[in-house]
Homo-oligomer: A and B are copies of this chain.
């Protein structure tokens, strides 16, 4: 039952901007023998996240960068297939920092949680019931503090995080405006994800479209992009607005930091707040978010899209594809046993 061979996607060289396929290599390696208090997880789904760019960047970040030659850090979900750990039994589902590989040997420290929503697909533990959904939930609720009647603008509005933000804002009684790229994603926003309005940033003047969609200004901006889209939003904040900085997808490199219009006067005149948000600060409250998100998924009020590709060979190019916006829904890599 203990597998012999393990394919790993390792970091081969350090990218200066968006990681490309050539920065990774796939290596076949033996699975190490289990020691006491260890177990083996067979990964079924590997996650692809915008944050991975930061995980391999040499520029100061919230965690040490992945070392050259190391397995690419990732959230993965799978099944315990062998265990010498009293807390993890064969057959249990787990999600955690198990890496881009077929099998992960773990002592439990890199497991984020046991996936107990057995009535729902395991893949959701990496998306709407995983870091994406939890990020949307706490980022919006805690940092964004939406109130009924607020106008909430979301960038990368059709993405794994953005689509959940828009729907949770709607469930909170807010008017929701999504910013996304291309007519297909605009349709997804106003159709599947229930946005009151959606703006195609590739199709025209974002500032004009925002002014039309947000006549009373923008109370909450959930920002996954930075860049020109955010510049347009910042100029249209309402008094006491809250800006949640969750990602900076539109900035190809932060080394050196690019320039943009200064935000101080917008913040001062509107007594607005701009706040960086990282889900890792909410580790102790994950189950609270997942319980709510799962209930909304079950009753149909929280929808999600998955964009699943089969085979570990898709990993090396996956981050670059994500930044090119090629996926329609949460991008996952599925591994066949």
A257 an interface residue at 8 Å Cβ cutoff? Answer: yes
A79 an interface residue at 8 Å Cβ cutoff? Answer: no
Interface hit among A5-13, A164-172, A202-210, A261-269: A261-269
Residues of B within 8 A of A274 (CB): 263, 267, 273-275
Known A273-B275, A274-B274; contact A259-B257, beta-carbon cutoff 8 A: no
Whether the pair A269, B226 counts as a contact (CB closer than 8 A) is: no
For the complex, give the distance between the alpha carbons of A174 and B91 in Å. Answer: 53
For the complex, give the distance between the alpha carbons of A223 and B263 in Å. Answer: 13
A215 an interface residue at 8 Å Cβ cutoff? Answer: no
Residue of B nearest to A237 (CB): B276
A4 an interface residue at 8 Å Cβ cutoff? Answer: no
Copies per complex? 2
For the complex, give the distance between the alpha carbons of A60 and B263 in Å. Answer: 14
Residues of B within 8 A of A254 (CB): 265
A109 an interface residue at 8 Å Cβ cutoff? Answer: no
For the complex, give the distance between the alpha carbons of A62 and B274 in Å. Answer: 18
Residues of B within 8 A of A30 (CB): none
For the complex, give the distance between the alpha carbons of A54 and B270 in Å. Answer: 13
Residue of B nearest to A250 (CB): B264
Residue of B nearest to A60 (CB): B269
Residues of B within 8 A of A260 (CB): 259-260, 262
A246 an interface residue at 8 Å Cβ cutoff? Answer: yes
- Residues 225 to 261 of chain A near chain B (Cβ within 8 Å): 226, 230, 245-248, 251, 254, 256-261
Whether the pair B251, A264 counts as a contact (CB closer than 8 A) is: yes
- Residues 51 to 70 of chain A near chain B (Cβ within 8 Å): 54, 60-62
For the complex, give the distance between the alpha carbons of A274 and B260 in Å. Answer: 16
A212 an interface residue at 8 Å Cβ cutoff? Answer: no
For the complex, give the distance between the alpha carbons of A251 and B247 in Å. Answer: 28
Whether the pair A247, B276 counts as a contact (CB closer than 8 A) is: no
For the complex, give the distance between the alpha carbons of A281 and B257 in Å. Answer: 34
Shortest beta-carbon distance, A201 to chain B, in Å? 17
For the complex, give the distance between the alpha carbons of A226 and B247 in Å. Answer: 23
Residues of B within 8 A of A33 (CB): none
Shortest beta-carbon distance, A258 to chain B, in Å? 6
For the complex, give the distance between the alpha carbons of A54 and B275 in Å. Answer: 25
A277 an interface residue at 8 Å Cβ cutoff? Answer: yes
Residues of B within 8 A of A314 (CB): none
A272 an interface residue at 8 Å Cβ cutoff? Answer: yes
From B266, B271, B277, give the contact of A277 (CB < 8 A): B271
Whether the pair B278, A271 counts as a contact (CB closer than 8 A) is: yes
For the complex, give the distance between the alpha carbons of A196 and B274 in Å. Answer: 29
Known: A54-B269, A257-B261, A263-B274. 18 other contacts (CB 8 A): A61-B269, A62-B269, A62-B271, A245-B264, A245-B267, A245-B268, A247-B268, A257-B265, A259-B260, A260-B262, A266-B276, A267-B275, A268-B277, A268-B278, A269-B276, A271-B277, A272-B276, A273-B274
In the A-B complex, list the 4 residue pairs whose CB atoms are closest, starting with the nearest.
A267-B276, A268-B276, A226-B264, A273-B275
Between A and B, 10 residue pairs with Cβ closer than 8 Å are: A226-B265, A245-B267, A248-B264, A248-B265, A258-B261, A260-B260, A263-B263, A268-B276, A271-B277, A273-B276
